[in-house]
Structure 1
Amino acid sequence: MSGLPAELPDVFTGELLLGDAWRDHSFGGRRVAIIARGNDAVRVLPDIAWTARSVKVFLDDPAWVLPALPVPVGVAVRAASYVPVAGPPARRLLARAHLRLAVRDPWVRRLLTPDDRFGPHPAARGDLFYSVLQQAHCTLVRWPVYAVTEDAVRSAEGIEHQVDCIVVPDPDRLRRIPVALATAGPRRTREDRSA
């Protein structure tokens, strides 16, 4: 796949699932890392967490999550979304209310709130995302992924999260890991770099 570092399969000894390869996959008893943006995380987490021993969601950028609504209310909200003045603000207001009701912990709620200062975030539909994410075997990690090692995902704060499987719904996300993948080889010195 384009954008995928060629070294990754050689470095990570666990299972690497890219794109939709996670569908119909059994995660029974495994420690899973999901490296995803908001919409992708909302889509994949509920299915993966169902059988996994533990799930760490490395959430790059949260999305607004809309709840399922009864049909008459849902039709009204969908109709309002096509009105330029009411659409995005109405969806954001509904998503904000859903987040406040579904996530009791204020710190986790803050981590799941999209920052719209640099542009609006699309809304995802995910009735189970918040409830699954708050289960004891699921962990939200908002630090950027720094590297992938033999058996772990290292986040920017320096913690190595031991995993058996990495799920990346958008493989181009791996290309954006800012630091080269960790390898078992020796570190290069300043003299080596200048040569």
Structure 2
Amino acid sequence: MAMIRGWSDFAGEIVVAGRDPLPAHGAGRRVALIGRAEQLVPLVAPLADDAEKLTVFQRHPCWVVPERDALLPARNPRRAVSVARRHLNAWIPERWMRRQLTPSRTGADGSVPVLASDRYYPALLQAHCKLLTWPIDRLSRHGVRSVEGIEHHCDLIVVAAPEQRSIAA
């Protein structure tokens, strides 16, 4: 993940998922979740369960299949993408949000990560959750500022990538 300026400017709590335990006291907090979709998918629903507000800053989307199809990506990657596309269309009615959640990039081997979750899309659709795909400009004292100049206030930032700890101050 690219370097984000202002790590030391943020006045709230910063947690690096995979390295730090997620706070058990997230209830009623405004949470910003930052990362690639393949790192975010398992975190969105649990954080949404407790947060007053959850803003998800997603760098790149991945495919998501229903949990009943969890083994499909390994067995038949092409079919997994087809199932994931149907899963996305079934859950996400808004065209713009579907576009934000549809992968356009591929890995070095030509693949896009495919994860299994029954809770990711329903969590994103909750009224107190917001998906943002604008790049982050910097962290500020009160939250996350995206490149379009909007400051998204939060009390807790969860960085969903252990390598993100090298964020510049």
Q: Same fold (TM over 0.5)?
A: yes
Does 2:5 align with 1:11? no
Q: Is the 8 A contact 1:5 1:175 kept in 2?
A: no
* Letter aligned with residue 14 of structure 1: G
TM-score, normalisation: structure 1: 0.76
Shift of 1:36: 1.1
Distance 1:81 1:14 in 2: 40
Shift of 1:95: 0.3
Q: Which runs of 4+ in 1 moved over 3 A?
A: 3-7, 116-119, 173-176
Shift of 1:90: 0.6
Q: Which residue of 2 aligns with 1:42?
A: 41
Q: Is the 8 A contact 2:64 2:116 kept in 1?
A: yes
Does 2:155 align with 1:164? yes
Long gaps (5+) in structure 1: 182-195
Distance change (3 Å), C-alpha of 1:160 and 1:6: closer
Q: Which residue of 1 aligns with 2:100?
A: 111
What is the CA RMSD across the aligned residues, in angstroms?
2.6
Identity across the alignment (%): 34
Q: Is the 8 A contact 1:66 1:123 kept in 2?
A: yes
The correspondence for 1:98, drawn from 71, 76, 87, is 87
* Structure 1 residue matching 2:111: 3-state secondary structure: coil
Distance change (3 Å), C-alpha of 1:95 and 1:60: same
* Structure 2 residue matching 1:131: 3-state secondary structure: helix
Asked which structure has the greater CA Rg, the reply is 1
Q: Is the 8 A contact 2:6 2:139 kept in 1?
A: no
Long gaps (5+) in structure 2: none
User: Per-residue CA shift, 1:19-77, capped at 9, x if unaligned?
Assistant: 233536221111000001011110101111101100000000011001022xxxx49x6
The correspondence for 2:132, drawn from 141, 144, 152, is 141
